[in-house]
Every structure is written in structure tokens, then in C-alpha cells.
Amino acid sequence: MTIIWTFYESDVHFVNYYPSSHSQCRTEFNITKIIPGTQSFSRSIAILQAISDHTTAPTAPDLLASCGLSRPTLFRILASLEAEGLVIKTSQGSYKLGTRLVGLARRALEDIDIRSLARPELESLRDRTEETVHLAIRSGDEMVYIDKIESLKAVRMASSIGTRVALHSTSVGKSFLSALPASDFESLINRLDLNKLTDQTATTPQALTEQIEEYHRLGYMYDDQENEIGISCFGAAILNEQLYPIAAVSISVPVFRVRAEQNFYIKPLLEYAANISRTAGANVT
């Protein structure tokens, strides 16, 4: 589960954003003015994200090590979260996300209109290609999966709704980048951490830009094991009525099953992505 909160004060935009990481608990701000009185709240959200990011329920020492808070501060916040049903302390002394968060997350997903608009097209895309289909939106400097239609085949991509993925190494991320106005693209690409996830990953702004330019020529984005060995993905951006990207859709295929005739994936991908964009108000063909 990924936790994202956005605050507004007048026309100041405050983004509190937590990349998935098991080794740290950090806050990044893209703001011109910090809203007073939010530090305790930000720390609470950071702790919730840290608990979510651990593969097993973390103990208090785990959270102390990852979040860098003092012991009194950590235990005060944990007690508050537990009292609100947002955190559960197990009999072994570890911490898990509380059931109250499930309801909040479900309501948040229901309120994301693009998810409901796209669902019929995503199901049709999965049925035509017989492969796993994802819908993702931008979250800070990453993308986050907000819907997934599983392949019915035994071997398929392991992922889940709420998973955060990189912009520079995934078909959803690169297709989103490719649809940004030039000024937004340049601003974003210059601050991205172009981490090498596989030997195929583009790790320089120049290499990534060349891939993005290729997208404009072909109309889709291809991820050839750039994010995960053994998985190839085809992606396309979803646009709104201003022709600004609001999401991206992808088809994920195990490399051993990728067809030589890639139009088998590309043609329906572009067709259904355009359908979703039109439903969202874009005037696209």
C-alpha cells in the first residue's frame, strides 16, 4: 500500500511523497512554502509508509533504524496511530497496518475516476492479448499502479495495485514522460534518479530522451527488460481534454512468450488507450 497526501494553502502546492524503500523513511517536498503544523502529521504518514514497505511486520527497533526518529517520538506516534486503528501491534511486538486503512484505501481508489473509466477497456485489452494489463498514474517522481487485470495464464508478472515503479525504466513511466509538454519533461528528467535496475535500463538523460523521442515516432513505448529481468512491457499514455497525460496503460509479457509479431500487442494497446483518452475528454484519433 502506498500512502500519498496532498495539501493546499492558497495556491501553494505541498506534496508529501514517500518512495518505497526498506532502508529508509524519507520525506521529499516540492514546495515553495511549508504549511505550519504538519511535521507531526508528516512523521505519522512516514511511519505508516515504512510499515507498509517492510516485507515482514517491522519491530520498533526496525522503525527506529529506518526512520531516524528519536525513541520517544516514534513510540508517541505509534501509540497515536494504534489508538486510531491505523496500526496494529502484534503479540510479538511488531507493527502492521490497521484495518481502518483498508477502508480508506478502498474509498480513495473508488474516487479515482480514471480507474472506473478505464476498467472496461483494460479488461478488453487483457482479453485480446491474454496478458497482464496495468493502469498507472504519476505519484511524485514515480508511477503507481491503480488497477491490474491479471493474465489468465499460469506464468505472469508478479505485481499488485499500489506498487510504485520508476518513470525511467517502465513502459508506463516512459509513455507518461513522452506525453508531457517539453518544458515539464525537461524539468522532470533533470531531477530523476536514473538508477540502473537491469543492464537494459537507460541511466543517462540523453539515453532516456532518445527513447522518448522514439515513442513520438512509433506512438507507443517498449520496456525490454529495463525494469525487471524476464518481463517486457508495451505502454501508452492516457490523455485528458487538454491532451495532458493523466495515466498510462501497459501490457506485461514474460519474455519467453513475447510474439515475434509485436503488432499483436501494439495495435490493441493503442486502440484501447485512445478509447480511454476519448472517454476522459481528449480529442484523439
Q: What is the pLDDT of residues 150-185, one digit of tens each?
A: 988 776 666 778 888 999 999 999 999 999 999 899
Q: Residue 18: pLDDT above 60?
A: no
The residue length of the chain stands at 285
SS3 content of the chain, % helix, strand, coil (to 5): 40, 20, 40
Candidate from 10-14, 90-94, 214-218, 271-275 with smallest mean pLDDT: 10-14
Residue 183: HSE in the Cβ half-sphere, 13 Å Cα cutoff: 0
What is the overall mean pLDDT for the chain? Answer: 83
Q: Residue 8: pLDDT above 70?
A: no
Q: How many CB atoms lie within 10 A of CB 174?
A: 31
CATH fold of the domain at 5-106: Arc Repressor Mutant, subunit A (1.10.10)
Are 281 and 241 a contacting pair, CB within 8 Å?
Answer: yes
Give the alpha-carbon dihedral of 264, 266, 270, 272, to 10 degrees.
40
At residue 110, the pLDDT reads 54
For residues 223 and 208, give the distance between their C-alpha atoms in angstroms, rounded to a whole number: 12
The per-residue pLDDT for range 19-44, each reduced to its tens digit, is 333 334 544 333 334 455 678 888 99
DSSP per-residue codes, 34-92: PPTT-HHHHHHHHHHHHHHHSSSPPBHHHHHHHH---HHHHHHHHHHHHHTTSEEE-TT
85: left (phi over 0), alpha (psi -120 to 50) or beta: left
Q: Residue 3: pLDDT above 50?
A: no
CATH 3.30.450.40 for domain 113-279:
yes
The per-residue pLDDT for range 228-262, each reduced to its tens digit, is 999 999 999 999 888 999 999 999 999 999 999 99
Is the pLDDT higher at 82 or at 10? 82
Q: Binning pLDDT at 50, 70 and 90, where does residue 9 land?
A: very low
Is the pLDDT higher at 269 or at 41? 269
What's this model's pTM, rounded to 2 decimal places?
0.65
For residues 86 and 277, give the distance between their C-alpha atoms in angstroms, rounded to a whole number: 36
Q: Which amino acid is at 175?
A: S
For residues 29 and 186, give the distance between their C-alpha atoms in angstroms, rounded to a whole number: 19
Give strand ranges (E) for 90-230: 95-97, 132-139, 142-149, 164-166, 221-224
Buried-exposed string 42-67: b where 16+ CB fall within 10 A, e elsewhere: bbbbbbbbbbbbbeebbbeebbbebb
Buried-exposed string 256-283: b where 16+ CB fall within 10 A, e elsewhere: eebeeeeebbbebbbebbbbbbebbebe
pLDDT > 90 fraction of the chain, expressed in percent and rounded: 55
DSSP per-residue codes, 98-119: -HHHHHHHHHHHHT-HHHHHHH
At residue 142, the pLDDT reads 92
> Within the chain, which residue ranges are assigned CATH 3.30.450.40?
113-279
- Packing angle of the helix pair 113-129, 263-279 (nearest 10 deg): 160
> Within the chain, which residue ranges are assigned CATH 1.10.10.10?
5-106
Is the pLDDT higher at 103 or at 16? 103
Candidate from 57-61, 105-109, 186-190 with smallest mean pLDDT: 105-109
